[in-house]
Amino acid sequence: MKLRLAILSFFLFFAWGKTVCAQSSSNENNTLLWKVSGNGLSSPSYLFGTFHLMCKDDIQFSSALQQAFTNSKFIYMEMDFNDPENTLGMMSYVNMKDGKTLSALYTKEEYERVARFFKDSLHASLDYFNRMKPNFIEAMLYPKLMPCKRISGVEEELRKMAADHQIPIKGLENMAFQSSVFDRIPYEDQAKELLNSIDSIDTYRQNFLHLLEIYKNQRVEEMEKAMVEEPSFNATKELLLDGRNRNWVAQLNGIMKKDGVFVAIGAGHLVGAQGLIALLRKEGYWVTPVAN
């Protein structure tokens, strides 16, 4: 169960934690909560940027967010974790295609370095994950980056709140699609990134905590500055962010016309010229910051 949740969290975290771009430096835009209105909507909808894995005690929801949340008829997330179709047969989604293995992607010495890290730091055998996509294996590093033991995710806490208020949750994507996205990133590149993360785990931790601090303070304008030096930024931005954003806006055009909804997605999907805020504005909606 813990492994499954870690992998699911990483599906979502990767897309915003690895490639992020900012829209504006205006202080009024320093919020993760945005109201969508106009363009024929009978009731407003809301966008909220999430961070998929963080210390549980750091996750707090403002009264403005709670009001927007409880006034919404549906909650939309990147994926509906409550849908059994997204968890049944999960291992077939996270494994590499064509029988490829991690050990075949590394030299013997490289594989031994990764295996040693898993044994010493994670107390796990790498052999068990030999067929898994390297980006998903990286999910298991994230708890080691945390300055706390009680770990949760913003989506997880929102799901609890939705259950308390009996608000249905829907997904913009499913597990099969999200898995297929990572099949389009060469496994060799994923393996190299995993090895680099392990070899520079202290720097990796510092960068992660810096990104987390930006998120906690809702400093939207600093996101691009924090991530633009990421080597895979330009190579994966279209795949992990822009293309998915355009698909979501196409869906939301129909969804928001019917009901006021609360859309909770990775914060990196909100901003930039191809972010949800800009794309929805191009569609004619008023998208305005809400003090949060």
The predicted pLDDT at position 227 comes to 57
The predicted pLDDT at position 224 comes to 60
The helix/strand/coil state of 95 is strand
pTM tops 0.85, yes or no = yes
Who contacts 157 (Cβ-Cβ below 8 Å, separation ≥6)? 56, 59, 61
The predicted pLDDT at position 53 comes to 87
Residue-level pLDDT, tens digit, the chain, 292 residues: 333 333 444 444 444 444 443 333 346 778 999 999 999 999 999 999 999 889 999 999 999 999 999 999 999 999 887 777 767 667 678 899 999 999 999 999 999 999 999 999 999 999 999 999 999 999 889 888 988 989 999 999 999 999 999 999 999 998 888 888 899 999 999 999 999 999 999 998 998 898 899 999 998 767 666 655 565 666 788 888 899 999 999 999 999 999 999 999 999 899 888 899 999 999 999 999 999 9
The helix/strand/coil state of 74 is strand
Contact 20, 268 (CB under 8 A): yes
The predicted pLDDT at position 20 comes to 40
The predicted pLDDT at position 230 comes to 62
- DSSP letters of 104-171? HHS-HHHHHHHHHHIIIII---GGGGTTB-HHHHGGGGHHHH-S-S-EE-HHHHHHHHHHHTT--EEE
| Cα first-last separation, the chain | 33
The predicted pLDDT at position 131 comes to 95
Distances (CA, A) of 94 to 103, 111, 130, 141, 182: 16, 19, 11, 16, 9
CA distance 85 to 210: 35
CA distance 43 to 34: 14
CA distance 117 to 126: 9
The predicted pLDDT at position 8 comes to 41
Helix (H) or strand (E) holding 206: helix 201-216
